[in-house]
């Protein structure tokens, strides 16, 4: 091997090293880029003297273990961020001291106190109607706000699912491209590898995903419940579909290899933006709207019951003071039988803030599951098809098929139509039937409802609302604390990952100077070889 060949091998290696370093510097701010390092090796033949240098590979500085830890932590951070952004909206709504329900409920009962002191005063009666209307309007407004959040969340779920599918499709495509590139050149396609790993990181921000590397080459990705999302060069789509139990509720469906869409339970998703949104809905949004509805149903029904015992200013028996929504029962769209269930309020003091799944059994009976705590039982249906369940009276008709299900939502929609049912102050039944139309005995009984423990037998309506505000506030604070801690851990892992894979400007600049000198030295070798050759030629 001549000195020229040795020098040329050095020049080629120096050029590769300079090119690699320049590429590192150019991509210092490129998200997902992993620093590359030229790996040089000595060239040799059968002789004892080396024949120059070779570039064995341009190695990507990538630590799969640290990257996997970072992706997992980032997925949990994304879930907490999604949850926090949603729950903080409800916290701000409920805790507003000016726009909240607490001052309006206090105003309503204060107006009743005024009425009890002047039962025949038209101004006092109009004051009750006005404060009652304002309170009812705020209940409806809060319910509408929560309903809008629910609709917005449905839209966010659809958008997130679209992003997940697009990302999974790109990863599957890159699996194919990487395999082909390796087969053609025998070298690592570092740019494609960076793109694929960046997409895996993006996917984990959207949904919790488990990565398995097949044969050290192909990425296979499963959802947290084990269902494949990417398998080699094939991806499987998720779909945002209407729940068969509740068409107003968007759930996640999985399209299997046969093309069938199977609904996945929300609990299967814990991490990523998708997991955060679904957890917020099931843990907070459903609960808050149900609790608001329970307060509405209890206040309306109990107030009506007392009001109907009194006499108005015209000497007429009192009627319903409030209009309140009814319990809702939804038949599963996949039911095969003809069974139907309707519901109305019974003893509202026994209402819970839970939804219930009612399932038809083989013997034609019904079992229920209280979704808030998993309690199960059998409905005691009498010969007339009547049954009761936690403050709700049910009426069962038709013939169900085994496995048919019904979703009972006792309080979800109670606040939608909450409004004052009377239009004139004279219709307020402030008097008792024994004392004449001008006494205040029934007004006092109505006022007593402010402190009576009519919500679950343990709390007044005001106490129940205060507890709701406190619970949401605690959830918001706890979520923020967890988010801060998780963000700190994620940032530490990112710094660790970047210390191995990221580009350090000072280091790369030093390498640039070093490889420049390396190039100049090898150029000098060739120059010396040329001088030696000239000397040899001059000898002739």
Query: For the segment 473-532, what is each residue's pLDDT rounded down to a tens digit?
Result: 999 999 999 999 999 999 999 999 999 999 999 999 999 999 999 999 999 988 887 777
- Asked whether 190 and 60 are in contact (CB, 8 A), the reply is yes
Of 274, 304, 330, the domain-final residue:
274
Report the number of distinct structural domains present in the chain.
3
Confidence label for 302 from pLDDT (cuts 50, 70 and 90): very high
In this structure, the answer to whether residues 48 and 166 fall within a common structural domain is no
Phi/psi for 352 (5° steps) reads: -110, 175
For residue 536, what pLDDT band results from cuts at 50, 70 and 90?
low
CB 214 within 8 A of CB 232: yes
Specify burial of residue 130 (Cβ count, 10 A radius: 0-12, 13-18, 19+): middle
Instruction: Give the pLDDT score at 259.
Output: 78
Mean pLDDT, range 163-184, rounded to an integer: 95
Percent of the residues in the chain that have a pLDDT greater than 70, as a whole number: 97
- 491 occurs within a structural domain: no
- 435 has a pLDDT exceeding 70: no
- Check pLDDT > 80 for residue 190: yes
Cα dihedral sign for 70, 72, 76, 81? Answer: positive
- Classify residue 497: in a domain, yes or no: no
Q: Which of 241, 274, 307 is the last residue of a domain?
A: 274
What's the pLDDT band for 467 if we cut at 50, 70, 90?
very high
144 and 79 within one domain: yes
Q: How far is CA 443 from the centre of its chain?
A: 47
> Alpha-carbon distance 3 to 192, whole Å?
38
Measured CA to CA, the distance from residue 330 to residue 332 in angstroms comes to: 6
Same domain assignment for residues 226 and 242: yes
Q: Are residues 107 and 117 in the same domain?
A: yes
Backbone angles phi, psi at 255, to 5 degrees: -90, 115
Q: What is the pLDDT at residue 336?
A: 93
Q: Are 454 and 349 in contact (CB under 8 A)?
A: yes
Task: Indicate if 324 and 410 belong to the same structural domain.
Answer: yes
**Average pLDDT in the chain:** 93
295 — pLDDT class (breaks 50, 70, 90): very high
- Distance between CA atoms of residues 353 and 294, nearest Å: 6
323 and 434 belong to one structural domain: yes
Domain range for 126: 75-155+280-485
The per-residue pLDDT for 437 is 60
**Chain segment 138-163, per-residue pLDDT in tens:** 999 999 999 999 999 999 999 999 99
Handedness of CA 261, 265, 266, 268 (dihedral sign): negative
- 213 falls in which pLDDT band (50, 70, 90)? very high
Q: For residue 261, what pLDDT band results from cuts at 50, 70 and 90?
A: confident
Q: Partners of 180 in the beta sheet? A: none
The predicted structure's pLDDT at residue 48? 60
Q: What is the pLDDT of residue 38?
A: 95
Q: Is the pLDDT of residue 374 over 70?
A: yes
Q: Are residues 264 and 325 in the same domain?
A: no
The residue out of 231, 251, 274 marking a domain boundary is 274
* pLDDT reported for residue 507: 94
| pLDDT, position 378 | 95
Domain match, 163 and 252 both: yes
394-414 pLDDT tens trace = 999 999 999 999 999 999 999
For residues 293 and 325, what is the distance between their CA atoms, to the nearest angstrom? 9
Least Cα distance to 115 among 305, 316, 307, 300 occurs for 307
Look up the pTM and report it: 0.91
pLDDT at 274 over 70: yes
Closest to 496 in 3D by CA, of 79, 212, 194, 71: 71
**Helix, strand or coil, per DSSP, at residue 304:** helix
**Helices 286-307 and 461-501 meet at what angle, rounded to 10?**
180
Radius of gyration of the chain (CA): 36
Position 496 in a domain: no
- Residue 131 binned pLDDT confidence (cut-offs 50, 70, 90): very high
What confidence category does residue 216 fall into, taking pLDDT thresholds of 50, 70 and 90?
A: confident
Say what the pLDDT of residue 47 is. Answer: 61
Question: What DSSP element (H or E) covers 9?
Answer: helix 3-26
The answer to whether residue 305 sits within a structural domain is: yes
What tens digit of pLDDT does each residue of 324-363 get? 989 999 999 999 999 999 999 999 999 999 999 999 998 8
Indicate the pairing of strand 322-323 with strand 310-311. unpaired
Contact 329, 342 (CB under 8 A): yes
**The dihedral sign for the CA sequence 136, 141, 146, 151:** positive
User: Is the domain of 258 the same as that of 307?
Assistant: no
Kindly state whether residue 12 falls inside one of the protein's structural domains: yes
Identify whether residues 320 and 233 lie together within a single domain.
no
Calpha distance 114→292 (Å, rounded):
27
- Interval 131-144 mean pLDDT: 96
Residue 412 resides in a domain: yes
CA distances to 11, 252, 253, 263 from 260, rounded to whole Å, are 60, 13, 9, 10
Contacts of 5 (CB under 8 A, 6+ apart): 51, 52
The total of other beta-carbon atoms located within 10 Å of residue 163's CB is 17
Could you tell me if 76 and 493 are in contact, meaning their C-beta atoms sit under 8 angstroms apart? no
Which residues, other chains included, contact 441 with Cβ-Cβ below 8 Å and sequence gap of 6+? 310, 431, 432, 434, 435
Average pLDDT over residues 434-458: 88
Residues 149 and 15 placed together within one structural domain of the fold: no
Q: For the chain, first and last CA: distance in Å?
A: 23
**Residues 369 and 477 occupy one common structural domain:** yes
């Amino acid at each position: 091997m001549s000195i020229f060949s040795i020098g040329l091998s050095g020049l080629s290696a120096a050029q590769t090293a300079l090119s690699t370093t320049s590429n590192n510097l150019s991509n210092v701010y490129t998200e997902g880029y992993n620093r590359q390092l030229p790996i040089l090796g000595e060239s040799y033949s059968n002789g004892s003297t080396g024949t120059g240098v070779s570039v064995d590979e341009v190695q990507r500085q990538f630590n799969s273990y640290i990257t996997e830890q970072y992706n997992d932590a980032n997925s949990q951070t994304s879930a907490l961020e999604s949850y926090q952004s949603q729950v903080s909206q409800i916290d701000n709504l409920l805790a507003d001291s000016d726009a909240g329900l607490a001052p309006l409920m206090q105003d309503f009962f204060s107006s009743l106190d005024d009425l009890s002191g002047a039962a025949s005063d038209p101004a006092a009666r109009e004051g009750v109607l006005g404060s009652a209307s304002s309170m009812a309007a705020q209940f409806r407004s809060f319910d509408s706000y929560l309903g809008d959040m629910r609709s917005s969340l449905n839209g966010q779920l659809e958008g997130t699912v679209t992003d997940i599918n697009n990302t999974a499709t790109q990863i599957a495509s890159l699996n194919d491209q990487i395999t082909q590139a390796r087969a053609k050149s025998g070298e690592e396609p570092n740019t494609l590898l960076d793109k694929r790993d960046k997409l895996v990181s993006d996917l984990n921000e959207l949904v919790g995903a488990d990565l398995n590397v097949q044969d050290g080459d192909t990425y296979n990705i499963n959802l947290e419940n084990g269902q494949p999302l990417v398998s080699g060069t094939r991806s499987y789509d998720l779909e945002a579909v209407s729940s068969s139990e509740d068409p107003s509720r968007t759930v996640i469906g999985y399209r299997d290899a046969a093309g069938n869409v199977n609904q996945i339970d929300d609990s299967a998703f814990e991490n990523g933006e998708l997991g955060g949104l679904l957890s917020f809905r099931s843990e907070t949004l459903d609960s808050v709207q149900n609790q608001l509805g329970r307060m509405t149903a209890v206040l309306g029904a109990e107030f009506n019951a007392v009001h109907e015992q009194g006499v108005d200013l015209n000497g007429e028996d009192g009627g319903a003071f409030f209009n309140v929504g009814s319990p809702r029962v939804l038949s599963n769209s996949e039911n095969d039988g003809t069974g139907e269930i309707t519901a109305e309020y019974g003893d509202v003091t026994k209402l819970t803030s839970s939804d219930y799944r009612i399932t038809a059994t083989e013997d034609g009976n019904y079992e229920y599951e209280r979704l808030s705590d998993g309690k199960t039982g059998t409905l005691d249906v009498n010969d007339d098809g009547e049954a009761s369940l936690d403050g709700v009276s049910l009426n069962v008709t038709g013939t169900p098929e085994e496995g048919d299900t019904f979703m009972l939502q006792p309080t979800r929609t109670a606040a939608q139509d909450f409004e004052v049912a009377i239009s004139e102050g004279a219709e307020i039944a402030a008097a008792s039937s024994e004392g004449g139309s001008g006494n205040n005995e029934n007004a006092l009984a109505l006022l007593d409802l402010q402190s009576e423990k009519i919500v679950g037998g343990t709390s007044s309506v005001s106490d129940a609302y205060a507890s709701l505000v406190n619970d949401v506030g605690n959830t918001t604070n706890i979520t923020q604390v967890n988010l801060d801690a998780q963000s700190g851990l994620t940032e530490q892992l990112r710094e660790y990952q970047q210390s191995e894979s990221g580009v350090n400007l000072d280091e790369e600049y030093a390498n640039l100077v070093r490889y420049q000198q390396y190039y100049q030295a090898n150029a000098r070798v060739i120059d010396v070889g040329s001088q030696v050759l000239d000397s040899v030629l001059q000898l002739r």
